[in-house]
Structure 1
């Protein structure tokens, strides 16, 4: 039976992720409890001075920025830089400044994280930028072209709350890379939230619903039944690929792009020939429940 082998939360869009043994399921994806705060996937983002988001597509060194959580602090680590501590809760003496930022075609309400964070990140990346945090008073919706009637909130992700990949699909790609005399690549090049083992290569392409068998069905509402608390995820859109898989997540350097191999067999006619690897998911059921590495899943195919 397919099994979850990796869970990764990315607090800051396009920066390093945090590998987890368990996480809470929120509408917007994976969440992590740290102290009194609940931290969400892609809750922070770097923007230029015009408010437009930055990513590894143009700034591959973002991969070297490693967020960690310590009680009620977001800590940022990067090579040859002092650790940077950012309070998760604004104080009366340093209230958060609100602003509008842009991620793809969406204008999104956010809070500025201050001059100290801006100076630290600008120095490391070599370009003027600021760190912003999603404003929970606003709401950004995933594309209803793919979610249908369901309104699904997401934060600063490229478009959907969760990204699923499988070890068999990566193995298939790596076999093709080796046959071309190239080195294998790790899964972190594709920056998934959930990795499954026990599937055939690219079987996730045909996923409809994904039910967690061994999920801890303890939600925030004690009145709900266990059935109501079970986690069910819905596959809504294959994930089209840009140049980020070419970025070595350990060195922050761009190298040979595996998408050139993927394009020989992974062009998707549903996406105008876009090259796909992995599936975007939304949460159908189980907000507030826990998901764990080692949970088994029932993959319902949607032919």
Structure 2
């Protein structure tokens, strides 16, 4: 039976993630996942696509604080449960939603390191951002993720890809939330419903990939791989796919080592050979 082998949260959208062994799940997904986000002067989200050096900013959580570190910068300490701030309407791809500003000190810290004017905002607990209703139910919601609260990838999907590369890449390139072992490569392409520790998940849509997997998370240097190989083996209708988006049905807790029950399978998505 498949097993949950890794759990990652990304408190600030497009910054480095945090590996955890046990973590609560709330209405938006893994707690604190993509709760914060950087925006530009037009209130549009910023990511490694345009600012690869965002990968070098590392978060960690201590007590009630989110602490951010970056090369040649003093640490930035933020409250894990922010309050107040100015209301800002922000853009995430084609979505618009309400956020709140964090502080001028945080804005200055990020602007200095990234060498671009930006602001840090957070997703208020009372704000509901509904998931795209083409793939979701009315109650499904997320914070500042691209579109879905979870991304699931199997270890053997990465292993199969790495066998085709001259230099292997780490799972961190693909920024999953949940990594599963003890299953075939790309087994997740067939999963429609799974259950982990009594939390049921629906997998309605494969994850199309942008340029971020081509950025080395340790150096922020762009590489042609693994995107060049994905373009050869995981291309469908002019998009590259790796991993599956997922939605959850209730709150709970996930732990590394939990069994992954496959409740429903279907045709491969996308329908690659």
TM-score class, shorter-chain normalisation, is over 0.9
> Do structure 1's residue 246 and structure 2's residue 214 form an aligned pair?
yes
- Alpha-carbon spacing, 1:96–1:279, altered in 2? closer, same or farther (3 Å): same
Alignment match, 1:231: 199
**Secondary structure in structure 2 of the residue aligned to 1:253:** coil
User: 2:150 maps to what in 1?
Assistant: 162
Checking the alignment, whether the CA contact within 8 Å between 2:130 and 2:138 is kept in structure 1 is no
Inter-partner Cα distance in structure 1 for 2:74 and 2:127:
33
Instruction: Please give the alpha-carbon distance, in whole angstroms, between the structure 2 residues aligned to 1:208 and 1:129.
Output: 39
For 1:196 and 1:138, locate their aligned partners in 2 and report how far apart those are by CA, in whole Å. Answer: 31
- Spell out the pairing of 1:137-216 with structure 2 (5 A cutoff): 137-147=126-136, 149-177=137-165, 182-212=166-196, 215=197
Given that 2:82 and 2:102 are in contact with CA atoms closer than 8 Å, whether structure 1 keeps it comes out as no
Report how many residues are paired.
Answer: 266
**Partner SS, residue 233 of structure 2:** coil
- Note the C-alpha offset of 1:260: 1.5
Give the greater-gyration-radius structure (CA).
Answer: 1
Quick check: 1:70 aligned with 2:62?
A: yes
Please give the alpha-carbon distance, in whole angstroms, between the structure 2 residues aligned to 1:265 and 1:185.
Answer: 16
Return the alpha-carbon distance in structure 2 between the equivalents of residues 72 and 187 of structure 1.
28
What's the TM-score once normalised by structure 2's chain length?
0.93
Q: CA deviation at 1:281?
A: 0.3
State the Cα distance separating 1:192 from its structure 2 match. 0.1
Change (3 A) 1:90 1:301: closer
Q: Which residue is 2:235 aligned to?
A: 267
Structure 1 position 90, deviation (Å): 5.1
Choose which of 270, 273, 282 in structure 1 pairs with 2:247. Answer: 282
Determine if contact 1:142/1:153 at 8 Å carries over to the other structure. Answer: yes
- The reply to whether residue 21 of structure 1 matches residue 11 of structure 2 is no
The runs of at least 4 consecutive aligned structure 1 residues that moved more than 3 Å come to 88-91
Q: Which runs of 5+ in 1 are unaligned?
A: 32-39, 216-229
CA contact (8 A) 2:34 2:145 kept: yes
Provide structure 2 residue ranges, at least 5 long, that are not aligned to the other structure.
268-273
Give the 3 Å change call, closer, same or farther, for CA 19–90 of structure 1 in structure 2. closer
